[in-house]
Structure 1
Amino acid sequence: MIPPVVSIVAKSGTGKTTLVEKLIAEMKQRGYRVGAVKHDAHNFEIDHAGKDSWRLTQAGADTMLITSPAKIAMVKKNPQAQEPPIAETIQTYFGDVDIVLTEGFKRSTMPKIEVHRRERSAELLCRSEIHDPTLIAVASDEPLDIDVPVYDINDAQGLCDLIVARFLA
């Protein structure tokens, strides 16, 4: 069974990570199992040069796991450097959670909450040139007159209420 997914989107430096952190903490406090996916448009590295895991990947391992009693981490090379569709990633890795919160994926068809800061941008990503029908709410530091609910940028509890009512009830 694939869990519901809500994507937190915004322009860089707006506060996506901060909001996702608050939402995860609130969802966990309510007893939900939460998965998180961070989109990185660049070529990130979690291995560090010289470490055993890095050496195994450098040797040519297509999939490399680090495992311990506390956690598991995986480095898996994407064939032809193609990022798999987010739906495929969620189906493969998140079968044991109640909900997945993603950060980024602004061009996806997943339901979205946009983070808006007046000082960062006058326009919303999901309500400017393109009207994104997947926008379900905005977390903003200013009042907005738009066609979806607007929450205070720090109202993780209210946004969780929306997510629970819409996707977990």
Structure 2
Amino acid sequence: MGLDNGAWSAYQQGKSFDEDAFSRAIDKVGEGADWVVLPDIVAGGMASLDLSLKWLHRLRGMPEQQLIAVQDGMCVDDVRDYLGPMVGLFIGGSTPWKLATLDAWSALARRKGCYLHVGRVNSLKRIKACAQVGANSFDGTSIIAFPDSINMLTRGVISSQQQQSLFNPRTKELSEVDYDCGWQM
């Protein structure tokens, strides 16, 4: 089970991140979570990373794994030194930015041996994109808004699990994955 920080919901409602609510969630379920998304600022670039790093030090070891939410304006060099088996990536940001940079984040995750989660995956196209880059997990809310879509999306997940992509960095030897992660400037 993953524990999100609530920043996206607050953003959608035009509210500020609720630090107290997040702290209560950590107290209640943090120890049992597989990972937690560190607090971030939606589309907040480096200010978002600064906030996440404050919480990274605060929550070290609880749960065992924390995810830094990368946002528009960040690049692989901004987070590379913080990542490893205990600190992974949550791909946030605007949809165009997320889709344009997903390959680079995936290559970085492979190079650093860290967990890769993609947020707001609500279509077959995005499920396939997650499978192609070797994301460990993804989330989306479309089945809540459109319950009839669950069968179609489930079939997409099953199909993606059965068909490996030749471009998935997790299927390559580490020496075959570029250190610069193919970042496009």
Q: Normalised by the size of structure 1, how large is the TM-score?
A: 0.33
Greater relative contact order (CA < 8 Å, ≥ 6 in sequence)? 1
